[in-house]
Structure 1
Amino acid sequence: MAKKKNKNFAQHLIEQVKNIFKAIFTTRIGYTLFSLLVVVIGSIFAIRYARGSWRLTKNGIVANTGLLNVNSFPTGAQVFIDDRLVTASDDTIYIDPGEYHIKIVKEGYSIWQKNLSVQEELVTQTNATLFPSAPSFSPLTFTGIANIHPSPDGQKILFHVKQANTPTNNGFYLLELTSNFLSIQSGPRQISDDVPALELDKAHVIWSPDSQEIMILVDEKFGRTEFLIPVDKKSSLLEQIDISYLRTKTLSAWEEEIYQKERLFLEKFPPEILQVATQSAKNVYISPDKKRLLYTATANVTLPEELIPPLPAASNQAEERNLKAGNIYVYDREEDKNFLVLNEEIRPNFPLLNLGVENSDLDKKTENSNLDEKIELSFLNKQLLSDDLFSNQIRKLEASPEAFLRLQADLTSDKETTALNFNNYYSGVSLNSLQWFPDSKHLLYVADGKIQIMEYDSHNNTVIYSGPFIDEFVYPWPDGSQIIIYTSFSPDSPFNLYAINLK
């Protein structure tokens, strides 16, 4: 009797389920709700799978894995995990949480390797850039050049030519650093004529902060003339007025513009690192993406921990928060990481002089200079203008003109220092120091007579070039596709700009 009762109950339950499903699939609302339920459940499973919460393997379901996104530039490189060939880039691998030694290898390119930590249900990326082992070269100038000055925006290079076959072709030229084929084919563009009596290859040049004008300062022994010309057209210098009476006012306005931009970018960084940057550091350069600071410590200080809440899947590379004077560091404001890069002794700072000046001229200049003055000039350093970041009052040129004279030396006798101060502010190339690579992930520098590049956490240091070059000028192309050097490949050839092709 009990069995019959249970059987009837089971049949009744089945009938009820059938009726429910019948109701669902025979009505529009019911069908919609059921479809929505399937989509939601399927999405949950898909998201959990994509995050590595579980994955299907030969051994069944494995829970709580992480994801390793192995990407490289260029792609198609072999990927080794703990010395075992696993896949080729680009690929995403589900892997157990833990620390792994990742090596990425492509024939004809530098090897990239790093220890990376993979965390549960998080994505870890390699973002590996591989540089060619034997890069090709291409000339950018041909006639012999001197007095080289990159623009503040990194898009142009100014230089002087005085050895052209035709005298009218001598003067200042502008090289547009563009990847546009037509612009590359057209080559440098002349923006001024030459005045031989002024010795313009030895003149001091200052770019405007917007990279639209240049100020040319001629020393007293060559005429003490000063010009301000645009770079978008050719100017005849003999037709230009002497702007000596406007020079201080113009430079102060430029200094105010630099100050305002710098303050705007630095305000996004934690106050603790700003205190270091303004009080205990020199040669502070903001990365192109405005997320990192490159700086040299001038005092032994400690950077506090956890200036911002920790981010998931942040870098696991060793950092250094006990700063020592003379060491060069990079601070990453997104991840609150501070990496030791180099010691200043490896890459000493000294200013970029007028490249291309005859050695005899330089020797005479050195002989006539006071030793103390030489030492001071040889170690000019960049100090931040926005040292008032903790004040709500922003300096204004109209209210305090004297506040915007910090980059200006006594121009009646020392135009060189003023030009160096401005140029140092724009780029580390003027200090022959480390420079940000355009991708904001690498640093470019010269050491031991070699052009080298490394990641901003000091890993994967790669020698790009070790041939002949003048190490006072090494500069990256704006898109990172080339590195520009100043060299001559034979004793009888003049010095010119060449591009080292990285792609």
Structure 2
Amino acid sequence: MKVFKKKILPILLTLFTVSFLTILSLLYARGYRISLDNPKDGNSIEPKIVVKKTGILAVRSIPNSAKIYIDGKLVDITDATLSSLAPGKYQIRIQKEGFEVWEREVEVYEDLVTDITALLVLKGGGLNPLTNNGVTDFELSKNGELLAYLSKGEEKPGLWAIQLSNSPINIFQTNKKALALDSPGFTYSSAASIQWSPDDQEILVKMNDAAYLLVDLSKPPTQVPQSFSNPTQIFEKWATLQYKNKKAIVDAIEIPETLKVLAMSDKSMWSPDGKKFWFFDDNTSTDYTYIQVYNFKEPLPVGEKVINETLKYRKDVVLPNIYWYSDSEHLILADTSSIKIINIDGFNMFELFSGNVIDSKAYPAPAGDRIIISSKFKSDAPQNLYTISIR
């Protein structure tokens, strides 16, 4: 009997140990962690061993290799996945030399992965010329691929465009083309403004004498454009086309019926990825105008909200022009003296440029590394296009 006990006890002990370790491994794999829970009520002296569920924080930055701080403590470098975090709120700071500090409170949930992507912005981003021959007006196409502008100083004056891509752009670029050249009857380069059609097939040129010229981009630069004194019919046609474009987006994703009116409104602007729109809400009983972003990503990432109150302004304040940034996660704010960028959740607003911003226009390059503006630095100098470096 004693011999039997001596043989069986080690086996049982081994089985118990293996089973215990297996259970611990399974609990660990499912996000549970063992910790000491120190009593706070004063009724118990000994700390208790407790098993708690944890969450995961996946942290990414653009550019990467930035330091990650949680509640003031350096924990890793982006891009990183931080596991074994107790559910709760944490103060996250992401820092990289030469860039603005990204910081906000983030909540971690048990059994879930919370994703963070921090857009890091250069401190004092450089300003580089994109044109040097003078520009009178410019506008980005709806698909973000062509930047049209009016110029008297190009090799042939007229309406020109720069083809944008994910490649760097600079003053020595060769990817520009003439859309409509000046002729004795049509001096585009002296026009007041330009406007793209919703389908990017036409550009309406407003002349200084209140006449309008409609440029058909399927025709050569030497074309004879349609001329109008009253563009009402064109704007009505474009409004119908714009409505169809928005309806196609709305029909392609799940949107509550109560929000479809806002989504189709003239006061809404859809993001490049077709998953969000910002809405200009001034029909409130308060003294404020609200800029709200509605997020319809499916599935909605952990921690993100459908309705985001991104900005609010007093109604007696002149609002900036608002543009989508190329990642569909940020808005660009442009007024006559500055360019700013802000996350759609209302956090991490950074000033990209302070100076003369003509017509309060600012368009992102497709790669997201630059913002394009028009400016001039002397009163007697012509205005030109410039790029603001973000990273």
Q: Alpha carbons of 1:207 and 1:470: their partners in 2 closer, same or farther (altered >3 Å)?
A: closer
- Are the counterparts in 2 of residues 193 and 236 from structure 1 also a CA contact under 8 Å? yes
Is residue 2:144 matched to residue 1:157?
A: no
**Where does 1:295-444 land on structure 2 (aligned, <5 Å)?**
295-300=279-284, 326-333=289-296, 334=300, 335-343=305-313, 345=315, 348-349=318-319, 433-444=321-332
Q: Structure 2: how far apart are the matches of 1:469 and 1:448?
A: 5
Which stretches in structure 1 are left out of the alignment for 5+ residues? 15-40, 302-322, 350-431
CA contact (8 A) 1:215 1:229 kept: no
Matched residue SS, 1:451: strand
Partner of 1:133: 123
Which structure would you say has the larger Rg? Answer: 1
Alignment of 1:73-472 (within 5 A): 73-93=62-82, 94-164=84-154, 169-180=156-167, 185-195=173-183, 198-200=186-188, 201-203=190-192, 205-218=194-207, 221=209, 224=211, 226-230=213-217, 234-237=220-223, 240=224, 242=226, 252-267=236-251, 268-276=254-262, 283-300=267-284, 326-333=289-296, 334=300, 335-343=305-313, 345=315, 348-349=318-319, 433-446=321-334, 449-470=337-358, 472=360
CA deviations on 1:6-32 (whole Å, 9 max, x unpaired) are 959x99xx9xxxxxxxxxxxxxxxxxx
1:52 aligns with 2:31: yes
Cα displacement (A) at 1:151: 1.1
Confirm or deny: 8 A CA contact 1:101 1:114 kept in the other structure.
yes
> Conserved in 2, the CA contact under 8 Å of 1:218 and 1:225?
yes
Contact 2:336 2:358 in 1 (8 A): no
How far 1:125 moved relative to its partner? 1.9
State the Cα RMSD in Å. Answer: 3.7
Partner SS, residue 257 of structure 1? helix
Change beyond 3 A, Cα 1:242–1:71: closer
Measured in 2, the distance between the counterparts of 1:180 and 1:146 equals 25
Contact 1:282 1:296 in 2 (8 A): no
Offset, 1:163? 3.5
Distance 2:371 2:51 in 1: 47
Deviation, structure 1 residue 111: 0.5
Range with greater deviation from structure 2 (476-485 or 196-205):
196-205
| Secondary structure at 1:261 match in 2 | helix
CA contact (8 A) 2:333 2:339 kept: yes
* Whole-angstrom CA distance in 2 between matches of 1:106 and 1:180: 24
Contact 1:449 1:466 in 2 (8 A): yes
Taking structure 1 as the reference length, what is the TM-score of the superposition?
Answer: 0.62
Contact 1:159 1:173 in 2 (8 A): yes
- Amino acid in the other structure paired with 1:179: N
1:34-61 Cα deviation digits (max 9, x unpaired): xxxxxxx98x98786455234799x999
Tell whether the 8 Å contact from 1:102 to 1:113 is kept in structure 2 after alignment: yes
Per the alignment, do residues 45 and 288 of structure 1 end up closer, same or farther by CA in structure 2, a change over 3 Å counting?
Answer: farther
CA 1:47–1:196 in structure 2 vs 1: closer, same or farther (change >3 Å)? farther
In structure 2, the residue corresponding to 1:256 is in which secondary structure? helix
Q: Could you give the per-residue CA deviations for residues 223-249 of structure 1, whole angstroms, max 9, x where no partner exists?
A: x46343216x74214xx2646599777
Distance 1:326 1:241, change over 3 A: closer
Query: Of 358, 370, 376, which aligns to 1:482?
Result: 370
C-alpha contact 2:158 2:182 (8 A) present in aligned 1: yes
Distance 1:244 1:469, change over 3 A: closer
Identical counterparts, % of pairs: 28
Question: Do 1:282 and 1:297's aligned partners in 2 also have CA atoms closer than 8 Å?
Answer: no
Where 1:195 maps in the other structure, the secondary structure is coil
Could you tell me the TM-score, scaled by structure 2's length? 0.78
The alpha-carbon deviation at position 207 of structure 1 amounts to 2.2
Displacement after TM superposition at 1:121 (Å): 1.5
> Which region of structure 1 is more displaced relative to structure 2, 201-210 or 255-264?
201-210
What CA distance in whole angstroms lies between the structure 1 residues aligned with 2:289 and 2:168? 43
SS in structure 2 opposite 1:185? coil
Across the two proteins, how many residue pairs are aligned to each other?
357
